[in-house]
Every structure is written in C-alpha cells, then in structure tokens.
Amino acid sequence: MAANLELIPATAGKRLGAAVLDWLAPVAVLVVTFAIGFAGITRTQSGGFIIYDTASLVLFGSLGMGLTLVYLVVLTGMEGRSGATVGNRAMGIRSADQDGYAPGTGAVFLRGLVTGAGIILAVLAAVLIVIFKWFDIALFILGPLVLVGAGWAVLVVVSNTWDANGRLRGWHDTAAKTLVFDVNAGRNPITTGGIQGPYSFAPLDLPPVQPVASPVAQQAAPVQSYAAPASEQHAPVPHAPVQSYAAPPAPAQPGSAQPAPAQPAPAQPYTPAQTYAPPSFSPPAANSFHPSVPLAATLPVPASGAAHPDDDLDRTQMRGGAADAAPVAVLRIKLDDGRDFQLDRNVLVGRNPVGQAGEQQAQLLAVTDPGRSISKTHLHLLTDGAGVWVTDRNSTNGSAVTTPDGRRSPLQPAVPAFVSPGSTVHFGDRSFHLGQA
C-alpha cells in the first residue's frame, strides 16, 4: 500500500499516543468529580440503621458524567467528519473508512464502544454501587474494574500490532471497517481522493473515433443530382451561402438578339453522405433561409421535361426533406432494479458519488448497494452521441462490459472505454443497460 498509493498505516505507538491525549481530559474530569462526590458522603446512624447521605456524590458524579458525554459527542462528530481528533492531530494520524474517506459518526461510535467496553462496565458498576449503597465495598469493586477497563482499552488500541495484513487494522477497526493512516509520513486520503487517490475523468478531447453506423434510427434519403438539358443551361454564377428562388427570365422580344448559349457546366458526381459526422459539425440554423418563403416552396421538384429553377447554379441544391437536421439520439440507461435515467454529458455513478476538486460539474447517480460492492464513486460516464465513454474510477471490485453479441470484457481502471447502445455495464454486484430513447 505504501509503495503504490503513498499511504502509510499508523503505528501502534502513534495510535496509543493519540488515544491517551483524547482520553486525558474526560478521565481527569471523572476522577476529580467522583473524588469530590465520594468525599462528601456522610454517614449517620438512626434506629440501628446506617444512613448514607449521597447528595454530593450524585451532584458531582452527574456533573462529571454530563461533561464527559458532551466531550465524547463533540469528539465523535469531529472524527466522523474529518478523521481528526485532538490526539490524531497531535500525532499526525487520521482515521478513515475502508474507501479512504471520512469514517462517519456511526463507525467512530462503534470503535469507541469496542475500545471503551471495560470503562463502560466500570461506570455501570459505579451506578449500581450508588443505587444499592455498597459504599463499604466500592473500592474493591471499582478498583479492579477500572484497571481491567484501562488495560482492555490499551490492548485494543495497539491490537493492529498482531494484524497479519501489514499491521493495518486493530480489533476495533475490523469491527467498524475503518483504517488509520499516518498523514505526516504519507498521503492524507480523506483530502486527496480516498484510497485510490485523485481521479481523472475521461478526456474531453476524445481519441479518434472510426466511422460507425449512425445511432439515429431513420437516415435521410440520399440527395439526387439534377442536370438540365444543355440547351437550357446558362452561364454559372458564383455560389452564395443561401440562395432564394428567383423567377425565370422573361421571353425575349421579337427582333432582339438572343444571347449565345453558354457551355454546359459539367455535372458534379454524386458522393454519398458520410454516416459519421465529427463532433465539431453543427447543422445550419433553421432561420438562415428566407423567412417569408418556405424552404419546400423555394426549391420545387421539377416535372418531367420542365426546367428546374436552379439551372443557373453550378451545384445542386438540397430539397427540403433532406436539408432538415437529423434528430439527436438521446442516450438512457436502465438499472437492474428497473429505474431508467436520461444521461447528461457527464455522469458519476456509485454508492454516494461525488466529484473531486477541480472536476467538472456532473450528474450524480446514486445506486443502492446494501452489500457495499460498489465504491462511493464507481464509474464516470461521458456521452458521445453514438455511445458512452465509461471510466472505472479505480473501484475496489472493478467493472466490466457485455456487448450486444454476448462478449464480456473487464474495464481497465482509469482508462476510458467506448460502450455502444445495446451493451450492459457491470459494476460491483449491480449493472445497467445502455439504450436510446
């Protein structure tokens, strides 16, 4: 782990040092308040019975336990959000969840229960002593319990010493599924992208794409060329970006000289339109044509043997049906639980996906995963018209793609892979099908 990811597990000594610093304040408060409370107990004898006045013990003991509880709640919240406590900061270590992010208050609370089980038992014994007034034997009960509780806490804190997996986890870490890292000697995963480090999206400048079949269901009909008879050809005029229909010239008056017919312009060979258009192509805007004359009216289809109104142009004009822009394919994914989503350009998929600092704003698609087989941010999707570029963001359990012909291929971590509609993407124990609207 240290060699590949620049992560250094915290040593047992640093763990113990941080724990002592964190426990020092509440232990001192409890010792002082309970000592004052026990010292204030008075004993009187009445009617052959011994009566204990425990008002001071109840008062100062409750005060001490209340302050300790507030301290523990604040400390748990602080560590759950950032992995840092007073002791952790002093020793240069941070606790994290199994993905390398902030552990959360639930995991921190569970770690605390395992570590402080002996101390909790001693506190319960003290409460029973007060209730049943076993003050004569209180020292014999509380003394051993406090020693056993303190010994257990120390043993749990340094239990990573006996972890065969690189001394990575203690007993409390195993129960709460947490890790502890030395951020002075290595990287702090909580602020640098978790266990796998900073992620990278699929590049915006995509690699060259070979021409493929258009994802649009209906193709526009091929454009046919029309060549007028040689006797009706006129001299070519320069082509303008947009031409409106002009009425044919009036017949010549009798006696006037007829202009010499120009040589016919060579007919341009028909070249079928390519099925793949580069990303930079954008169709002409609809309002670029004459606003008062419909496109179909400006370019009428000639009758058999009739003159075409565009005979004075040196190239064929598109008819209205072919000039319309082809509809853009809408890509959707359908999760294995039946949910269906339309994709934005950038999409993050995972248990609780979140973009890292400096990354583009993306659509966040959270997928329920009780078995925790999916990483928090498992996949990045980048739509590209004909399909989707899918990038596995160094997930723990990996990803794979099954193509429409049934072939399954694993995704390489951090390497964008093009996925065409009809394919199925598997991530952890979940999957989704890529289709078109």
What DSSP assignment string belongs to 180-233? EEETTTS--GGGTTSTT-S--PPPSSPPP------SSSSPPPPPPP----GGG-
- The per-residue pLDDT for 64 is 86
At residue 351, does pLDDT exceed 80? yes
Q: Is 360 exposed, middle or buried (0-12, 13-18, 19+ CB in 10 A)?
A: exposed
Q: Where are the beta strands (DSSP E) in 26-79?
A: 42-46, 49-53
- The per-residue pLDDT for 318 is 52
Domain 331-436 classification at class level: mainly beta
At residue 313, does pLDDT exceed 80? no
pTM over 0.85? The answer is no
pLDDT top residue among 324 and 411: 411
Residue 195 has a CB neighbour count (10 Å cut-off) of 20
How far apart are alpha carbons 309 and 232 in whole angstroms? 11
**Arithmetic mean of pLDDT, 96-102:** 90
- Pair type for strands 408-410 and 388-392: unpaired
Token representation of residue 296: 């179909």
In degrees and rounded to multiples of 5, residue 279 shows phi and psi of -55, -25
Q: What is the per-residue burial (b if ≥16 Cβ within 10 Å, else e) of 397-435?
A: ebbebbeeeeeeeebeebebbbbebebbbbbbebbbbbe
Which secondary-structure segment (H or E) carries 178? strand 178-182
Q: Is 181 exposed, middle or buried (0-12, 13-18, 19+ CB in 10 A)?
A: buried
Token representation of residue 67: 């302050």
- For the stretch 266-299, pLDDT in tens is 544 544 444 444 444 444 444 444 444 443 444 4
The chain-wide mean pLDDT, for the chain, equals 75
How far apart are alpha carbons 92 and 423 in whole angstroms? 47
How far apart are alpha carbons 163 and 58 in whole angstroms? 43
Contacts of 294 (CB under 8 A, 6+ apart): 320
How far apart are alpha carbons 61 and 421 in whole angstroms? 68
In degrees and rounded to multiples of 5, residue 383 shows phi and psi of -70, 145
Instruction: For residue 377, give the DSSP letter.
Output: S
Spans of all domains in the chain: 2-191, 331-436
CA–CA distance from 389 to each of 206, 232, 375 (Å)?
9, 54, 19
- The per-residue pLDDT for 243 is 45
Dmax over CA atoms of the chain, in Å, equals 153
What DSSP assignment string belongs to 280-292? T--PPPGGGS-TT
- For the stretch 224-268, pLDDT in tens is 444 445 444 444 444 444 444 444 455 544 444 454 454 554 544
Q: Is 196 exposed, middle or buried (0-12, 13-18, 19+ CB in 10 A)?
A: buried
